[in-house]
Structure 1
Amino acid sequence: MIKKIAVVVLSLSIIFPAIADILKVKNNAPEQYVVKKGDTLWDISAIYLEQPWLWPKLWRFNPQIDNPHLIYPGDTLSLVYDADGRPMLVMNQKYKKLSPHGRKVMKKDGAIPTLPLELIRPYLTYEQALDEEYMAKQPYVLGGNDNVKNLITGHILYIKGNLVRSKYYGIYRKGEAYIDPKTDEPLAHEAILVGTARAFRNGDIDNGIPASVRVKNAKREIHAGDFLIPAMEGQSLPAFFSLTKPEKQVDGSIIASTTKLREFSKLDIVVLNLGKKDKLKAGHILDIRRQSPTVVDSGDGPKYLEDSSRFAKMAATAKDLFGSEPSADNTLWKMPKEKVGELMVFKVYNNLSYALVTGTLRPIRVGDVVSID
């Protein structure tokens, strides 16, 4: 682990469990596909499979694509089947010449990744969700060597707290609380990285001597009250994710997105009200589901609950509200939840987690629930 605080570039290779079942290829899957710039292995597999996280099974035992991470825009792939009827993607012989002694690959830049690392790299490195009590205990900025409120790169900061000389620190600002919709209680607060700094004086809080740091990089203006934590704290993350379904059913929901919007799409990053306490792990794949609207079937015919008359609503919900049986002419139909997308959990805290939306059937919204089949 490097000491210098820079963006940690992880090799986001994905390892999946062995699946005994034969893969089911989509009916409209093409016989050939030409790799385009911007494609990922996940994207290509999604063209062929309903479950794209099973992509290693599609590239298995393939002498022509012995390393699927080294395919490039312009390469042509063909869908074939082995003697047992199992599908495979192979490199088109017409476009790739193979030596009798092995595969020759010309050196190129831009091999396609498994997932778009650039999108989640900030969350795999320094962006965090922290407990309010924890944040309150950390060293914080008292001021700087200039009488200005907004401190930037090159400024010296004076810190209330004892720091380790020559150590790098992340400077954070307390952000919005992530609220659990079930309890209305805060699960954690967003910790916004505003800059990085290196300590050059330890400080002695017992004798009123501040620690000193020099700002190495400011993502935004640094203010008095912003707090510091060691640069690599909370950043012990796997370089490899084993993508699986959770062993037990989970019951949670999307409570926020990093875009601050209430509706979002594929490759957006969302926050779940599930974490380590729910046995959630990095690499877990979850379905995103949405509750279909409730219908009241009354003497006036079926109507959505919000469109029904006050009387029909009261009659249909009498059992829920008063314990009495609803009117035979006013029946409340609670519809099922339908799948609208999928996501991959990649960073887990005790009470919440970050996840990447990997596929959508409809735009995803705050409040959509997450579960497994």
Structure 2
Amino acid sequence: MIKKFAMLLGSMFFTVAVYAAAAQLRPDHPDTYTVKKGDTLWDISARFLSKPWLWPEIWQANPQVRNPHKIYPGDVLNLSMQGGAHLGLQPRVRIDGDAVTAIPLSELRMFLKDTRVMTEDQVKSAPYVVGFEENHLRATPGQKVYARQLSAEPGQRWAIVRPTNAFREFKDVGNIDRGSVVGDSLDSDVSMNRGPWHEDGRDNGHFGKGASLGVEVTVIGTAEVLRAGDPASLVLVDSTLEIRKGDRLMPVDDAPYDAYYYPHAPKTMPADPRVIAFSDALAAVGSRQVVAISAGAHDGIDNGTTFTVMSAGETISDDVASNSEERGTAKNVRLPDEYAGHVMIFRTFDRVSYGLVMDGLRPIHKGDRATQPE
């Protein structure tokens, strides 16, 4: 009896899985698709699924595709509907040794290695560069640097980081101007100020406002400990910028990102998450660019979490109301928010996450809302 019940239950789950696959396949999907070099799982899924972020649930529900991360260029995906919903993989000789990835990691590696988000206390209490050999003002690779509050042994390597942005909550989430961004630029040079850094708000109406979400730091070099002590002696191994006083030291992160990503809707939806910063952009970003979201592990966000980003509707003049006899009516009206694109999270910190814009119809701006991917 138990065995029959288990078989019945298994058949029910299979039926539900097949129904889900049928429901998500686009009506105009082809019968087959040959995987090409340069494809990503997201791109392929977007061709024949109405909700591309659901590809793990659908593909893994079908025994023909045991591991979607083991699909290679030259493989033929069978999408025919003959005999019911069917999403299969026709075996063939591999023509390329590189499996198709969920997202283009090659576009992320530099960013992932170079940027982190720490709490203000973590940055303030971190070891810091206090000086250089022969009283130089800056250091380049091959030169000695001296650091305080560093507990380390000779031979250990440390990352040298520089605070670049202070992430803050919006003070008034109900009335946000796109010019009021959350990222306040920082300067870590103690020769210019007494504190660990100062916020430069000259081009930022949000300067100094809102609760702290964390401090973004950029890895700008690597140093190896020569002699322990306070100050400790290190040799600068490599750097992308000149090292200066006030730069912080933090442990080297050897595994900054996951090997695989499984897109999924938020397990719990944070309260009003926003796009708060860009990577290598000023006013707006588009597909395959990196954004920071004002929600992180503390809010239940993990790698693969996928959001729909809604662009804030514009406020326009209601010329009809303005010219009517009813002068008391509002002359301005705010248009509805519009779909901008999908963002998939690939790295999380406590209250901030980094995501990749997977697709989109319009530019994404700071202040745009991250919502359920429906």
TM-score where L is the length of structure 1: 0.73
Q: Does the 8 Å contact 1:59/1:89 carry over to 2?
A: no
Matched, 1:226 2:215: no
Name the residue aligned to 1:197. Answer: 223
- The 1:272–1:66 alpha-carbon spacing in structure 2 relative to 1, beyond 3 Å, is closer
Name the residue aligned to 2:214. Answer: 188
CA offset digits 1:217-246 (Å, max 9, x no partner): 21222122211011139x676555453222
Q: Does the 8 Å contact 2:283/2:365 carry over to 1?
A: yes
Give the superposition deviation at 1:80.
Answer: 1.3
Give the superposition deviation at 1:173.
Answer: 0.9
- The 1:341–1:160 alpha-carbon spacing in structure 2 relative to 1, beyond 3 Å, is same
3-state SS, counterpart of residue 102 of structure 2: coil
Name the residue aligned to 2:320. Answer: 301
Name the residue aligned to 2:160. Answer: 171
CA offset digits 1:37-92 (Å, max 9, x no partner): 321111111111121122232475354x6554344445444421263x3241533x
Q: Does the 8 Å contact 1:58/1:87 carry over to 2?
A: no
Name the residue aligned to 1:45. Answer: 45
Name the residue aligned to 1:10. Answer: none
Name the residue aligned to 1:14. Answer: none
CA offset digits 1:322-348 (Å, max 9, x no partner): xxxx946x5865543232211112222
Q: Does the 8 Å contact 1:80/1:90 carry over to 2?
A: no
- The 1:338–1:286 alpha-carbon spacing in structure 2 relative to 1, beyond 3 Å, is same
- The 1:53–1:337 alpha-carbon spacing in structure 2 relative to 1, beyond 3 Å, is same
Name the residue aligned to 2:149. Answer: 161
Give the superposition deviation at 1:277.
Answer: 3.7
Identity %: 30
3-state SS, counterpart of residue 264 of structure 1: coil
Q: Does the 8 Å contact 1:292/1:335 carry over to 2?
A: yes
Matched, 1:249 2:275: no
Gaps of 5+ in 1: 1-17, 92-102, 303-307, 317-325
- The 1:290–1:244 alpha-carbon spacing in structure 2 relative to 1, beyond 3 Å, is same
Q: Does the 8 Å contact 1:170/1:229 carry over to 2?
A: yes
* Matching residue's letter, 1:108: D
CA offset digits 1:227-283 (Å, max 9, x no partner): 1011139x6765554532223433121111011322111121101122234332332
Gaps of 5+ in 2: 1-16, 173-208
- The 1:293–1:167 alpha-carbon spacing in structure 2 relative to 1, beyond 3 Å, is same
* Matching residue's letter, 1:86: A
Q: Does the 8 Å contact 1:167/1:230 carry over to 2?
A: no
Give the superposition deviation at 1:153.
Answer: 2.1
- 2:118 aligned to 109, 130, 134, which one? 130
TM-score where L is the length of structure 2: 0.73
CA offset digits 1:296-352 (Å, max 9, x no partner): 65xx526xxxxx68xx8xx99xxxxxxxxx946x58655432322111122222222
Give the root-mean-square deviation of aligned CA atoms: 3.2
Q: Does the 8 Å contact 1:181/1:255 carry over to 2?
A: no
Query: In proportion to residue count, which structure has more strand?
Result: 1
Q: Does the 8 Å contact 1:60/1:88 carry over to 2?
A: no
More off after superposition, 142-151 vs 235-244? 235-244
Q: How many pairs are equivalent?
A: 316
* Matching residue's letter, 2:100: I
CA offset digits 1:181-218 (Å, max 9, x no partner): 33532432220111112212111x3xxxx101222221
Query: In proportion to residue count, which structure has more helix?
Result: 2
* Matching residue's letter, 1:193: V
Q: Does the 8 Å contact 1:296/1:333 carry over to 2?
A: yes
Matches for 1:1-373 after TM superposition, within 5 Å: 21-22=20-21, 23-56=23-56, 57-58=58-59, 61=62, 63=64, 67-81=67-81, 83=83, 85-91=84-90, 103=91, 105-106=93-94, 108-165=96-153, 166-182=155-171, 184-185=209-210, 186-203=212-229, 205=230, 210-232=231-253, 239-250=259-270, 251-294=272-315, 297=318, 301=320, 327=328, 330=330, 334-372=334-372, 373=374
